[in-house]
Amino acid sequence: MLSGVRIIAILLVALSSARTLAANDWEHVGGDAGGQRFSEARELTRENVAGLEVAWTISTGELKDWGARRGWKFQTTPILFEGNLVFCTTLNDVVAVDPGSGRTVWRFDANLPDIEPAGNGYACRGVTAWRDPVATPGAACASRIFTGTNDYRLIALDAATGRPCIGFGDAGRIKLDPGVPLVHAGEFQITSPPVVARGVVLVGSAIGDGVRVAAPSGKVRAFDARTGVPRWTFDPVPRDPADPARASWGAGSDDRTGHANVWSLMSADEARGLFFVPTSSPSVDHYGGTRPGENRYANSVVALDAVSGKVVWHFQTVHHDLWDYDVAAQPSLVVLRRDGKEQHAVVQPTKMGLIFTLDRATGTPVFDVEERPVPKGDVPGEWYSPTQPFPVAPRMLVPAKLKADDAWGVTFLDRWACQSAIAGVRNQGIYTPPSLQGSLLYPFISGGVNWGSASFDRSRQTLYVLTNNASGFVQLIPRADVPPRNEMDVFNDGIASQTGTPYVLKRSLLASPLGAPCNPPPWGQIHAIDMTTGAVKWERPLGTLEDVVPFGDLWLPHGSGNLGGPIGTATGLIFVAATMDNYLRALDADTGRELWKGRLPAGGQATPMTYVWKGRQYVVVAAGGHDVIGTTRGDTIIAFALPKMRRPHAR
């Protein structure tokens, strides 16, 4: 049990963190521990943002030796912590640099082996900082950086020096146990940062899709933030017979099913002592006959007690997932003003383009949620949920129906090919289940809203999110009709083994012969949502294809696919990269109008951040590309600021 002194110290740290954010720092990947992605910095305004220019750039040096490999991504968002800008590289090195110049202060070599991961690729979305409230200020590891690695290690580093914290785990490192032998080295990874509350550090995992029913467990693991001693685990597939959620797993399927893992970003509420974890689909993603029932805790946002790991509440966004509709976005912890009162809430964007708004203490919907009938399939052995949850507000942000006549093409023949493809598959709108003939999956697995998550402006009571708009094709093929295949060849040719089921899966983007999506543009948008009423205030296409198709900005419609998220500022600016063209953009928060764009040396498939250092406001983004969507590869962190001679005094 925590002593009174310890509790007071913890609360003081929480208050200190709040003051730090007000002072324009960015101490968490999501801006704050609740992922609001918002800054009170006021130097950059709608009037002067057009004057932004490159302040400094640095290279991680990894592209030269590693960039040609399959799975390359650079998705990190730096944090500003105790005088250093700290980030992780694609290969899990952790780097601290001077915020004003980019000069390297220290670098930790993660020594990542050559794992050539299938499916998830190499990724590191950021690091987590923590101050020990009872440590002597200035002592080694009184302030720490926690990071996870693609070879599933949790590492604690001294924030001042980058040296491992010897008293944590095994000389600063903890190797997670996947629980089962891995099919390939990249089947089990850590790709998103840990999260800390009440002296507990929590870490999730990224587990390869489509491999097998008996996949690694998707449990999240909690450790003492000082010592690394295990504290508790939470498995989204309930194994305890006394757990009420176990009744939603038929035929003992919870004893043989894997993952439902938490691969994306988690949130923490220090004052309440709660973690909020977004869970994913159980194994396997597109066939659920081996796991009949709604599969509670999977595809959910779950509130966990930070000290005990007990479930405080849970809300499921998809029953019995057959579409790979993981809860990919970080739960946003916000304060809403409704009916003259403040309400602490969790806003959960989803891949379906649906946004669920829940009371933070109870999980009760703030905007009503309706269970609506959805199509039922006819695959032998499958179990189907008759309904799915839909919030009454906000409205769905992406289209959910695609008729053959709606097909889009660069040319007449291109459009005709798309029309034929759409007409030949099962197509009943959102939640059309996978089938033996082939089914249209719309939205596709990339979203809606993906891991880029949302930005929330408390003064405007406005949520900003990016969406993808793409359709896909899924088909279940009887195993006897497919030649035996290596489980490691997951989606290399659009096919996944799904070992332990009667079917092999075929999955692909629904695209024309020229490679363009078959559904009409825009293929990517940014939306502003009034969270008082749930109404969409404005939405605009985001991005072009100029860097992936010659002169694509001139002859193709605007609005490209995106991976990354937006951030907001108190002066009414939205900064966003994420798109398939190599730009960082500044938008007007009230209208979405583009006010500035800065050229990046590579694809900006990451979320930017902003901070004030010695009176100057910087906006920083990782520019490294993403091999799956074909953007320009790189290994650069680039910072923008106003020229020193022209900077006005901060207001």
pLDDT for 492 equals 55
From the candidates 209, 324, 457, 627, which is the catalytic residue? 324
Which structure tokens are listed for 136?
């002597």
Stated as kind and residue range, the H or E segment containing 467 is: strand 462-468
Paired strand residues for 224: 200
Is residue 19 very low, low, confident or very high in pLDDT (cuts 50, 70, 90)?
very low
pLDDT for 650 equals 43
pLDDT for 253 equals 85
Which structure tokens are listed for 613?
């250092």
Q: What is the pLDDT of residues 463-483, one digit of tens each?
A: 999 999 999 999 999 999 987
pLDDT for 630 equals 87
Q: What is the pLDDT of residues 214-267, one digit of tens each?
A: 999 999 999 999 999 999 999 999 999 999 999 999 988 878 899 999 999 999
Q: What is the pLDDT of residues 398-434, one digit of tens each?
A: 999 999 999 999 899 999 999 999 999 999 999 999 9
Q: Is 50 helix (H, G, I), strand (E, B) or coil?
A: helix
Rounded Cα distance, 143 and 159, in Å: 5
Count other C-beta atoms under 10 Å from residue 648's C-beta.
Answer: 11
Indicate the pairing of strand 267-269 with strand 274-278: antiparallel
Rounded Cα distance, 488 and 494, in Å: 13
Four-way CATH pick for 4-646: 2.140.10.10, 2.40.50.140, 1.10.3860.10, 3.40.50.150 = 2.140.10.10
Q: Which residue has the tokens 């030796």?
A: 65
Per DSSP (E only), the strands in 211-308 are: 220-224, 230-234, 267-269, 274-278, 300-305
Q: What is the pLDDT of residues 103-157, one digit of tens each?
A: 999 999 999 987 765 557 889 999 999 999 999 999 999 999 999 999 999 999 9
Would the pLDDT of 591 be above 80? Answer: yes
Would the pLDDT of 308 be above 50? Answer: yes
pLDDT for 124 equals 96
Q: What is the pLDDT of residues 533-585, one digit of tens each?
A: 999 999 999 999 998 877 666 667 789 999 999 999 999 999 999 999 999 99
Would the pLDDT of 70 be above 80? Answer: no
Rounded Cα distance, 573 and 38, in Å: 10
Residue ranges of the domains in the chain?
4-646
What Cα–Cα distance (Å) separates residue 220 from each residue in 129, 201, 211, 256, 278? 19, 10, 20, 18, 11
Amino acid found at 336: L
Q: pLDDT: is 566 or 491 the higher one?
A: 566
Rounded Cα distance, 552 and 558, in Å: 9
CA 261 to chain centroid: 13
Percent of the chain with pLDDT over 70: 92
pLDDT for 23 equals 45
* pTM of the predicted protein model: 0.94
CB 418 within 8 A of CB 407: yes
pLDDT for 90 equals 94
Answer yes or no: 224 catalytic. Answer: no
